[in-house]
Amino acid sequence: MRKWFKSLTAVALALSLIGGATSAASAASTLKGSIVINGSSALLPLTLQASSEFKKLNPKVKISASAAGSITGPQAVRKGIADIGAVDWDASIDVPGFKKFDGQVANPVAVTVFAAIVHKDVKVNSLTTKQLQDIFSGKITNWKDVGGADEDIVVVNRKFGSGTRVNFQMKALSGTEFMSKGDNYKEVGSSGDMKTTIETTPNSIGYIDLPYVTTKMKALSINGVAPTEKNVLNGTYKVWGIGYFMTKGKPTGATKAFIEYIQSNTFQNGSLKKLKFIPLASVKNLK
Amino acid sequence: MIEMNSTAQNAPAELGNSIRTGSGPSFDRRTRLRWANSAFRIACIAAAGFVCLVLFGILFLMFRTGILTFQEVGFAEFFFSTDWDPENGHYGALLFIYGTIALTALTLIISVPFSVLIAVFLAEMTPKWLRNTLRPVLDLLVGIPSVVYGYLGLTVLIPWLRDLTGKPLADGLLAAAIVLTIMVLPTISRVSDDAITAVPKKYRDASYALGSNRFQTIFRVVLPASSRGIVYAVILGMARAIGETMAVVMVIGNTAQIADSLFKPTAVLTSNIVMQISSVEFDSTWNYALYMMGFLLLVISLLMIVAVRFLQKKGASE
């Protein structure tokens, strides 16, 4: 009986301590509000990581993040569905294929590195730009033509409106058109779908940003250069882009604080780097 | 409406009771009740009217937005071209219409024989205790969310089909049809089961008395007698198959090409809408075309519901 009572006291004490701790934290930050983020799935790992850290510091801010491809970001902001539209290109200016979004401000948040990826059993480790162009336009259809086994190539593409697709097409394929039909061709809706499809489909090839690369797939070197932070910074690996958070006008309130948190040195050199994004400051001198 | 009628019938009796028990002046009580009855009646009519308003609102909105497609796209191109490439101004929706019809047809070809056999087994052959276990199990199957079916299709069915056929990519009509079959199977078999059970026992007795065996009784007497109920079940299953989105989008391959083989990645009306609607500009022909496709789906499923009602009425009048 005594023992039971003792443990109960301990639990009660622990509970009150936890309660005290949370109330202390909420007293520390008076920032309130809710932030809705939509758009690029390439940036989603960063958004999720940042929001879980930001919510710890500011418990009264609610953040909900989802992703369905870059173009949905600025469009959701225009329609007023989202406060932040994550996008893999600067949507405040015209880019090939996409008109600018008037009245939106592009807040740079990270450098994203994109890589061609294959299923882990594919023997090929490196492809030239020409070979990539031929594979993604449907001219090369068998792995043996690029030094692999005698197997059909399954091409997995992102759907229209993906920022990863735009960056990969411009920078890895030098603007070559993608194929759009075929028995061994399919389109997926987000980076997460791309990851699952490449992991589970033998002989498949696709492309994704580095945070999604797992051991069940292989990131290819392009023209012999591996997709690493080092190679981006020394200027040899070209397939990367800056990710932006689009806001309606200049960001305010909780949204402003959240973007500033992501742009802060602590986050840029800490969690962001760990996720395999590259801090904005390191690429200032590139290009 | 049924509830309203029964309330109206019960009201006088209740009125009489309250007068007899004498709770307060009878006139007040009567006026109050009359007022409550008419208020309830108005509330019911308003609710029914609201539902109709929502339905016609949806139809009108879909049609009004969808029809804008034809400002820039020819009627013939939309319905008779298979070239869907909105980035370059081609809006041929035939491949999606074809995909939806082909997928539904394939689903029914696989699911209807299975379901009818299940229904016959349940209604005619099972011992009572097994029937009482199987029926709730089928009812539970109806309630499984479609995303679960889609996920299983993606992670179990597709790798299995890939091994079986040796195709590098097994996404396509067959994979989607198998997933949909598993989805509509419980619906069709449960409703057919009820139809078969409703066939009067005297039909069976007469059949046996004339010397036919069990097989002949089931296929020559019971099934023809319950055919209308079975058709009703098939239409219900069809409506579910046509509108299904989540499970289909995960296994169909989502590529805008007409499927000339069972294993070619393709797209149907629902899967194409859900893949593209969030990526298109609000005031673009592309967006209008997606609305038009939604309107087509709506019209198809409404026609099916009308067909179901028609069959039910005909069945009741006989």
Q: What is the pLDDT of residue B318?
A: 56
Q: How confident is the model at residue B4 (pLDDT cuts 50, 70, 90)?
A: very low
Q: What value does the mean pLDDT take over residues B65-86?
A: 91
Nearest CA among B134, B243, B116, B111 for reference residue B184: B111
Report residue A260 CA to chain centroid gap. Answer: 18
CB contact under 8 A, A200 and B155: yes
User: Testing the interface with B: which of A104, A121, A181, A190 to mutate, by most B Cβ within 10 A?
Assistant: A181
**B278: closest chain A residue by CA:** A72
**Whole-angstrom Cα distance, residue A93 to residue A99?**
7
B195 within 8 A of B240, measured Cβ to Cβ: no
Q: What is the pLDDT of residue A1?
A: 45
Q: What is the pLDDT of residue A221?
A: 96
Q: What is the pLDDT of residue B21?
A: 52
User: Testing the interface with A: which of B262, B266, B278, B282 to mutate, by most A Cβ within 10 A?
Assistant: B278
Q: Which residues of B touch A154 (CB under 8 A)?
A: 168-169
According to DSSP, the residues that pair with A117 across neighbouring strands are A206, A219
Nearest CA among B65, B315, B59, B46 for reference residue B199: B315
**Whole-angstrom Cα distance, residue A75 to residue B281?**
7
Domain extent for B91: 72-317
CB contact under 8 A, A196 and B275: no
User: Would residue B204 count as lying in a domain?
Assistant: yes
Query: In the A/B pair of chains, how many CB contacts fall below 8 A?
Result: 75
Q: How confident is the model at residue B170 (pLDDT cuts 50, 70, 90)?
A: confident
Q: Which fold has domain A2-111+243-283?
A: D-Maltodextrin-Binding Protein; domain 2 (3.40.190)
Q: Do domains A2-111+243-283 and A113-233 have the same CATH topology?
A: yes
Q: How confident is the model at residue B1 (pLDDT cuts 50, 70, 90)?
A: very low
Of B167, B171, B282, the CB nearest to A79: B282
CB contact under 8 A, B168 and A201: yes
Nearest CA among B58, B92, B87 for reference residue B74: B92
**B257: closest chain A residue by CA:** A181
User: Would residue B302 count as lying in a domain?
Assistant: yes
Q: What value does the mean pLDDT take over residues B142-169?
A: 90
**Whole-angstrom Cα distance, residue A51 to residue A44?**
10
Q: What value does the mean pLDDT take over residues B108-132?
A: 93
SS3 B160: helix
Interface of A with B (CB under 8 A): 68-69, 71-72, 75-76, 78-79, 97, 151-154, 159-161, 180-189, 196, 200-204
A101 within 8 A of A71, measured Cβ to Cβ: no
Distance from CA of A85 to the nearest CA of B (A): 13
CB contact under 8 A, B278 and A72: yes
User: Would residue B33 count as lying in a domain?
Assistant: no
Which strand (E) or helix (H) includes residue A130?
helix A129-136
User: Would residue B281 count as lying in a domain?
Assistant: yes
Please, what is the Cα angle at A24 between A20 and A25, to 5 degrees? Answer: 120
Question: What is the four-CA torsion angle of B180, B58, B279, A184, rounded to 10 degrees?
Answer: 20
Domain limits, chain A: 2-111+243-283, 113-233
**B263: closest chain A residue by CA:** A183
A186 within 8 A of A157, measured Cβ to Cβ: yes
Number of domains in chain B: 1
Q: Which fold has domain A113-233?
A: D-Maltodextrin-Binding Protein; domain 2 (3.40.190)
Which strand (E) or helix (H) includes residue B29?
helix B26-67
Of B257, B261, B279, the CB nearest to A159: B279
Of B159, B257, B261, the CB nearest to A200: B159
Q: How confident is the model at residue B8 (pLDDT cuts 50, 70, 90)?
A: very low
HSE-CB for A149 with a 13 A CA cutoff:
9
- pLDDT averaged per 10 residues in sequence order, chain A, 287 residues: 53 48 50 91 94 92 90 90 93 87 93 95 94 95 93 93 93 92 89 92 94 94 94 92 94 93 93 93 73
A190 within 8 A of A68, measured Cβ to Cβ: yes
A220 within 8 A of A114, measured Cβ to Cβ: no
Q: What value does the mean pLDDT take over residues B297-302?
A: 89
**A199: closest chain B residue by CA:** B155
Q: pLDDT above 70 covers what percent of chain B?
A: 90
Q: What is the pLDDT of residue B280?
A: 83
Rounded to 10 deg, the angle between the B94-120 and B227-243 helix axes is 140
A37 within 8 A of A47, measured Cβ to Cβ: yes
- Domain with residue B290: its CATH number is 1.10.3720.10
Q: Please tell me if residue B255 touches chain A, with a CB cutoff of 8 Å.
A: yes
Dig out the tokens for A5 from the structure. Answer: 């009572």
Distance from CA of A267 to the nearest CA of B (A): 30
Pairwise pLDDT comparison (B313 vs A173), residue with the higher score: A173
Q: Please tell me if residue B154 touches chain A, with a CB cutoff of 8 Å.
A: yes
